[in-house]
Amino acid sequence: MNQRTYLDYNATAPLRDEVREAVIAALSIPGNPSSVHAEGRAARRAIEAARTKVAALAGARAEDVIFTSGGTEANALALGAPPGEAWHCYVSAVEHPSVLLSRRVSQKAPTRFPVTSDGVADLESLAKELSALEETRPFVSLMAANNETGALQPVAEASQIVHDAGGMLHTDAVQAAGRIKLDMAALGADLLSLSAHKIGGPTGVGALVLRPGASVEPLLRGGTQERRRRPGTENVAGIVGFGVAAELALTDLANSGATAKLRDELEGGVLALVPDAVVLSAESERLPNTTCFAVPGVKAETIVIALDLAGVAVSAGSACSSGKVEASHVLSAMGISDELARGAIRVSLGFATTRADIKTFLKAFGELIGRLRPRVAA
C-alpha cells in the first residue's frame, strides 16, 4: 500500500509510538487497582502517575481528575445535575452532540444560545438569557474550541458571566487539549472534558476535570472507584497511555506556531487554486491545526472521496456526523447557507504533519479541482 497522508487529527490522532509501548507494558500488570496486594498496588501507582500527567495538561490538581471511557462520557458526567440543586442548562449552538442532546440537567431541553457568523459564542445573548432566569441556577456548557472550524471560544469571559449569575460552567476541551494551553483557574471552568485519542492516546479513555470543591453525580452505581465519582474497574492500560499522550501533548505546545504556519500555507494554496473558496471562521482566533473551507458548487463528499483515492485523509465536517446528508449544525448556527455548508471540508494537522504533507494535499486537491472546475484551475 502506498504511503498515505493523514490530515484528520480532529477526528482522531494516530497512536504515538511512545503511547503504544506504554500501553503494551501496562497490559502486563495483572493486578486490579482496587486490590491491596503488590500487583494491585502496582496498577494503582500506574493510574496515579497518569492522573498527575493528565492534570498537568489541564492545569489542574491530580485529585480532581476523573477517568472516563472518553470525551462523550466526560460530557455526560459533567452535565449531570449537581446534587440537591435546581438547575437549567444553557449550551452554545455549536457544541458537540453529546452536549447538545443532554437531558440530565433539566427536565426541559437545554437552552441554546447563538454564535456569531465566525462561530464564536454570543456572550451578550447568554448574559441576557441568564438575567431573565428565575428560581433555578444556570449550568452553562461552552466548548473551548470547535471541532469543525477550530474557532476558539471565550470561556474565561463566559465563566465570569455565569458565576456572577450564581451558576457553573463546563467546557468541552477535547479539541483544545495539546493545541492551546489549558488552565482551569484561568478559564474559570468548574468542569472540563478531555479525550485521549485526540492527542495521540488510545481510544476509549477520557477524563472529566473538576475545579477544587466541585462535585458531580455519578452516572453509574456499583463501586467506589475514582473517589466514588465513576464506578467500575479502571482501564489501566488505556489510562497509562492517556498519561503518556498528555505528557507529550504538553511538550508539543511549543510547536503550535509551526503548525499554524503549515495551516496558513495550506489555506493560501487552496485560495490560490480556487479564489472563490471560503475559509470558515477565518476572522476568529482558531486552533493552530484546523481549517474548514468550502468550494462553492462542489460537494464535500466528492472532495473527501477523491482525496482518499489519492491517498489523503480529510473529513467532511465532524467525524461524529459522517454519513448524514444534512448540513452541519455548526455551520448552520453560523448562518452559512446549506449549499455552501454541504461543501465544507475540514483539514486538521497534528504532531506528525510535515510541509511535505501540505504539498501532497495541495497537489491532490489541485488535480481534483482541475477536473471538477477546469476554468477556475486554469
Residues carrying an active site annotation: 320
Q: What is the chain's alpha carbon radius of gyration, rounded to the nearest angstrom?
A: 21
Please answer whether residues 88 and 134 qualify as being in contact, where contact means their C-beta atoms are separated by less than 8 angstroms. no
32 vs 29: CA distance, rounded Å: 9
Amino acid, res. 19? V
C-alpha closest to that of 119 among 342, 339, 326, 333: 333
What is 13-73 written as a DSSP string? Answer: PPPPHHHHHHHHHHTT--S-TT--SHHHHHHHHHHHHHHHHHHHHHT--GGGEEEESSHHH
173 vs 175: CA distance, rounded Å: 6
What is 208-262 written as a DSSP string? Answer: EEE-TT-----SS-S--HHHHTS-S---HHHHHHHHHHHHHHHHHGGGHHHHHHH
Please answer whether residues 315 and 324 qualify as being in contact, where contact means their C-beta atoms are separated by less than 8 angstroms. no
DSSP character at residue 198: G
377 vs 362: CA distance, rounded Å: 12
Burial class (CB in 10 A: 0-12, 13-18, 19+), 143: buried
Amino acid, res. 15? L
Element (H, E) at 162: helix 155-164
Please answer whether residues 13 and 200 qualify as being in contact, where contact means their C-beta atoms are separated by less than 8 angstroms. yes
C-alpha closest to that of 32 among 223, 276, 312: 223
Amino acid, res. 142? L
Pairing of strands 65-68, 111-113: unpaired
Cell of 182: 489549558
301 vs 336: CA distance, rounded Å: 18
- Whose cell is 485519542? That residue is 197
